[in-house]
Amino acid sequence: MRETSRTSQSNPLDQSSATGRRRRLVRPVRVLAMASATVALLAVTGCSTEDASCGGGEYPVITVGDTGSACVPNGEEPPKGYTRYPEGKVPEHVGDKWDKYWETHTVDENGKIIKAPDA
């Protein structure tokens, strides 16, 4: 029977064990790095995770005498039956302060803010 010295030959299981540990550590680190980079990119570009009231190149309008709303391309006038929101009271994101406000208020044909019907 031949004896071998542990110092002259390395055990293949010891190597794979170390490699396995390294792989288990590298994978979460990569995922964490990718997630951090994504969050940083959103913060730097000013992107928000909130839903915008309208898409880029559009502005929101409200239904005259009701709580409906729509989006109109910049540079175009609101369609018949709609008007612009009063200055300073324009909803920017779904669920923001002004979006909630306009659920119970509207604008009449004279531009006056009134309680919405059935509010």
Q: 67 vs 74, 80, 86, CA distance in Å?
A: 21, 15, 14
Supply the pTM of this predicted model.
Answer: 0.58
Q: Are residues 13 and 32 in the same domain?
A: yes
List residues bridging with 71 in a β-sheet: 60
Tell me if 3 is assigned to some domain: no
Phi, psi of 69, rounded to the nearest 5 degrees: -145, 165
Q: Are residues 40 and 77 in the same domain?
A: no
Q: Are residues 66 and 107 in the same domain?
A: yes
Q: Are residues 43 and 64 in the same domain?
A: no
Tell me if 53 is assigned to some domain: no
pLDDT tens-digit map of 39-95: 555 545 455 557 999 999 999 999 999 999 999 999 999 999 999 999 999 999 999
Q: Are residues 41 and 65 in the same domain?
A: no
Has residue 34 got a pLDDT over 60? yes
Has residue 1 got a pLDDT over 50? no
Tell me if 42 is assigned to some domain: yes
Tell me if 52 is assigned to some domain: no
Tell me if 94 is assigned to some domain: yes
Q: What is the pLDDT of residue 118?
A: 82
Tell me if 62 is assigned to some domain: yes
Range of the domain at 15: 9-47
Domain count, the chain: 2
Q: Are residues 72 and 39 in the same domain?
A: no
Rounded to an integer, what distance in angstroms lies between the CA atom of residue 86 and that of residue 100? 15
Q: In what order do the strands lie in the sheet with 69-73?
A: 69-73, 58-63, 82-84
Which long-range contacts does 94-97 make (Cβ < 8 Å, 24+ apart)? 94/50, 94/51, 94/52, 94/53, 95/50, 95/51, 96/50
Tell me if 13 is assigned to some domain: yes
Tell me if 73 is assigned to some domain: yes
